[in-house]
Amino acid sequence: MAAANGAHKDRTALIPFSSRLREGRALAQDVWSIFNAANLPADCINLGQGYMNFAPPKWVTKAAEDALNTVSPNHYSHPRGRPRLRQAIKNQYEKQFNRELDIESEILVTSGANEGQYSVFTAFLEPGDEVIMFEPFFDQYLPSVTFNAGKPVYVPLHPPAHDQKKPTSNDWTIDFEELRRAVTSRTKMIIVNTPHNPVGKVFTRTELENIAALAEEFNLLVMSDEVYDCLLFDNKEHVRIATLPGMWDRTVTVGSAGKSFAATGWRVGWLIGPPSIITPTLAASTRIVFCTNSPLQEAVASGLEQVNQHHFFETQVKEYEERRDVLLSAFDKLGVKYTLPEGTYFVLLDISNVAFPVDYPFPQSVEGRGRDFKACWFIALEVGVSSIPVSEFYCEEHTNIGESFARFAFCKDLDTLRAAGERLQGLKKFLV
Cα–Cα distance measured from residue 299 to residue 70, given in angstroms and rounded to the nearest whole number: 12
Which of the stretches 106-114, 270-278, 369-377, 405-413 binds ligand PLP when contact is defined by CB under 6 A?
106-114
Q: Which residues contact 423 (CB under 8 A, 6 or more apart)?
A: 45, 383, 384, 385
Instruction: Kindly give the residue spans of alpha helices, DSSP state H, lying in 262-311.
Output: 275-288, 294-306
Which of the stretches 61-69, 107-115, 325-333, 360-368 binds ligand PLP when contact is defined by CB under 6 A?
107-115
**8 A C-beta contact, residue 109 and residue 80:** yes
Radius of gyration of the chain (CA): 22
Which of the stretches 14-22, 110-118, 299-307, 312-320 binds ligand PLP when contact is defined by CB under 6 A?
110-118
Q: Which is nearer to ligand PLP, 139 or 423 (CB)?
A: 139
Cα–Cα distance measured from residue 404 to residue 273, given in angstroms and rounded to the nearest whole number: 37
Q: Which is nearer to ligand PLP, 259 or 371 (CB)?
A: 259
CB-based closest residue to ligand PLP: 112
Among 24, 159, 160, 258, binds ligand PLP (CB under 6 A): 258
At its nearest, how many Å lie between ligand PLP and the CB of residue 225?
5
Cα–Cα distance measured from residue 301 to residue 84, given in angstroms and rounded to the nearest whole number: 6
**8 A C-beta contact, residue 328 and residue 334:** no
At its nearest, how many Å lie between ligand PLP and the CB of residue 23?
21
The backbone torsions φ and ψ at residue 239, rounded to the nearest 5 degrees and listed phi first, read -100, 125
Is residue 264 a contact point for ligand PLP (CB under 6 A)? Answer: yes
Binding mask 132-171 for ligand PLP (x = CB under 6 A): ------x---------------------------------
Residues 402-431 that bind ligand PLP (CB under 6 A): none
Q: Which is nearer to ligand PLP, 261 or 378 (CB)?
A: 261
The backbone torsions φ and ψ at residue 193, rounded to the nearest 5 degrees and listed phi first, read -130, 105
Q: Which is nearer to ligand PLP, 199 or 383 (CB)?
A: 199
Is residue 50 a contact point for ligand PLP (CB under 6 A)? Answer: yes
Helix (H) or strand (E) holding 255: strand 251-256
At its nearest, how many Å lie between ligand PLP and the CB of residue 55?
17
Which of the stretches 67-75, 112-120, 182-190, 320-328 binds ligand PLP when contact is defined by CB under 6 A?
112-120
Residues 197-256 that bind ligand PLP (CB under 6 A): 197, 225, 227, 256
Cα–Cα distance measured from residue 138 to residue 174, given in angstroms and rounded to the nearest whole number: 17
- Report residue 86 CA to chain centroid gap: 23
What single DSSP character describes residue 397?
G
Instruction: Kindly give the residue spans of alpha helices, DSSP state H, lying in 307-398.
Output: 312-334, 371-383
**8 A C-beta contact, residue 129 and residue 295:** no
At its nearest, how many Å lie between ligand PLP and the CB of residue 137?
8
Interaction site with ligand PLP (CB under 6 A): 50, 112-114, 138, 193, 197, 225, 227, 256, 258, 264, 269
